[in-house]
Each structure stands twice: as structure tokens, then as C-alpha cells.
Structure 1
Amino acid sequence: MARWEPGARERLVLAAVDLFTEQGYDATTVTEIAERAGVTKSTFFRHFPDKRELLVAGQETLSRLLAEGISAAPEAASPLQAVASGLERACEAMGPANRELGPRLKAAVAASTELQERDALKSVGMAAAMTEALLARAVPEVQAHLAAELGVMAFKRGYASWAEADPDAAGDLWGHTAAAFDELRAAGASLS
């Protein structure tokens, strides 16, 4: 078992998602995850405090990218345009490996109440990051929260569409997320 092999964090996430899907979250141990990933148990704990944290492995990075994109939006951008900028920045950081993980992750989450709770907390974290970035742009609080929640919904719908698409025709995540964002904005406008 290689001790310092690169990519251990990513291999741990993939191994965990596969094991959660194959045998269930509760039945999967940290030792099994480490063995499947080809690392030691101590390497697992260098990357994650426990197996619950595997689901939100990229949450900090995702939240940071969303906030950076919002902050970098033109000064005259509306709150929704700023959120679109954040979504685009986050989407650009995701590649084929993220797309391939989607269906496996969805199956693992669907099979575990605990993972469903962690997934919900991930959505809350994304919304909080976008809301804070919008508030820093002097967007009124209610509009900031609403725009951020719309952004979370668009990201989740776009990611699901992208992950389920035929690999040869999937395109990039931003295309799917932008389409979901446009659909949600139109739906919101029709509510008045």
C-alpha cells in the first residue's frame, strides 16, 4: 500500500461512494474505504475526520468558487447576474470526473438518511456562501437570500442533468446549469 501516492483524497471519495452504493453507508467502515482506495487508515484520517465528511469533500472549494464569481461580477450586475457569474466560475472547475461521480453519489445519498442530511447541509453551505458574497455587494438581505437559493436550485438541477446526460453529448456543467438557471428565473417571473 503506497503511503504518499498522489490523488489519495480523490481515491478515498470514489472508494467511499462505491462502497456506500454497494453495501450501504452504515455497513461501510473506514478501514474498507482506505483499503479500496489503496491507502492506509491513517491516510484516511489525514484527509477526513470521519466517513460522513466524504460527501462534502469539495464543499469548501465549491462555496469559495461561488463567492469569488459573485464578487468578480461587474459592479452593475444585478443580484441574479452576479449569482450566474458565481455559478459559471464553480462550473468551470468541474470536469468529467465530477460528472461521472454524480450518479454514484446520488445512489449513495438516496440509500442513507445520514447522507441525505449531509447533502442538505451542503446546500445550506452553498446558499450561505452566495448570500454573504451578495451582501458584500450591498444587495438587500431578502434579495440576497432569494438569489442565493435560486442559485443553489440551478446548480443542483444543472448538475443532475449533466451527470445523467449521455457522456458523448453531455457538454460542460455550465451549459446545463445556465439552462436550469434560465428556466428557474422564468418560472419565478411567472409567479407574479
Structure 2
Amino acid sequence: MGWPEFLFLLEGMKWTIALSAIGFIGGGVVGLAVALARTSGRPMLERATAAYVSVFQGTPLLMQLFVVYFGLVLVGLDLAPWEAVALGFTLHASAYLGDIWRGGIEAVPRGQMEAARALSLGYVSRMRDVILPQALRVSLPATIGFLVQLIKGTSLASIVGFTELARAGNMVSNQIFKPLLVFGIVGAMYFALCWPLSLYGSWMERRLAAPTR
């Protein structure tokens, strides 16, 4: 296990971080739309987005990546591995973040919405200035917890040949025949990414809960 092998693992770690960021940001944009649709009060829209969430929460992430990469080819969309996993993680994250934020919106006392309506605030202003800031406060710890799961889930991207940290570790292990050493280092790298986020999520949960005690 020399310096070139370690640099190769760092390169894989870089792509793990990039994939996690794309999935989280893209999933956050779509997830916000899902959350707003699920709390819109329009039955058809709520049922459609509930079905969307159920599909992605009820099927394995590995299968979702497989379907995105190999299934879209059947309809004429030949995506590169990078594009396929980015799309797959965005869709996966949007379902979970949409559900988390839907719960946060519904946790805001109903009186807040009624007071905003009494002030003649439009829908956009009600959500942006009154409801969503409070919903974010409630759902932030769960959002950070999901980000940790998303980072670890990037290890499944190797199914379509995408080289992230776990696949880089496997490639190095096959070259130097020291799997315990290599995957011990890979595990330490995942830990270095996830543990600070877990600590931050726990700290935020305690901080946000303190004023309500």
C-alpha cells in the first residue's frame, strides 16, 4: 500500500463527495417541490407525489440505479455512468427529502398558516416567510441524517462502473492483495466523512430542542 494507491483512494473519495453533493442538492430541489405538492391540499397532486415517494422508498437503491442506467437505454437515452448515477441519486434523495420536509411542514402549527392567511399573504409568501423557516427548524436533524446515509449509499454506484471510494478500494485491493488493509483505510475515509455530520446533526437537534424545554 504505497502513496500512488492512497492517492487513487483519495480520487475515489473526491467522486464520492461530488456524487453526494449532486444527489443532495438536486434531490433537495425536487424534494422541496414534492413536499409542497404533498401539502398543497389538492388530492390528485398529493396522491401522485405520494405514489412517487412510495416507489423510491419501497425499492432498493441498487435496483433504482440499475433501472436508470440500463432502463433508459431502452427508450433511447444512453447515459454515461456519471450521468446515470447522478440522476439516480437525485431521484432517490428527492423522495426521502420530500417526505422529511413534508413532515416538517405538517409539524408547523396550523394557526401559523391561518395567521398568514389573515394577513392576506399569498401562497409563495406564506410558505417562504412563515411556514418553511419553521419546517426547516423541525426537519434539519433528519435532513443531516439522510445526508449521512446518502454518502454511504454512493458505494452502490459501482454497479454501473462508476469509480467512487468503495470501487476504488476494490480496485486497489485486487492489485496489492491486501483487502483488510485497503478496506480498513476505505472505512476510515467514510468515517471521516460521516462522523462529523452525525455529530453536527446531534448538536443541531439539541440546540433546536433547547428553546422548547
- TM-score norm. by structure 1 comes to 0.32
Q: Which has the larger radius of gyration?
A: 2
Normalising by structure 2, we get a TM-score of: 0.29
Which one has a larger percent helix, Structure 1 or Structure 2?
2
